Amino acid sequence: MTQHQVILLEFVRARIEATGVSPSYVEMGDALGLRSRSAVFKIVKALIRDGHLRSNRGRSRGLSLPGVNLRAVATQAMIVELERRGVRL
DSSP H stretches of helix in the chain: 3-19, 25-32, 37-49, 76-84
* Backbone dihedral angles phi then psi of residue 5, each to the nearest 5 degrees: -65, -45
For the stretch 1-30, pLDDT in tens is: 899 999 999 999 988 888 878 999 999 999
pTM, 2 dp: 0.72
For the stretch 28-41, pLDDT in tens is: 999 999 999 999 99
Quote the CA–CA distance of 70 and 78 in Å, as a whole number.
8
Q: Which residues pair with 63 in a beta bridge?
A: 55
Identify the structural domains of the chain with CATH numbers, from first to last.
Answer: 3-84 (1.10.10.10)
Quote the CA–CA distance of 42 and 21 in Å, as a whole number.
20
Contact call for residues 70 and 77 (beta carbons, < 8 A): no
| C-alpha closest to that of 82 among 15, 13, 21 | 21
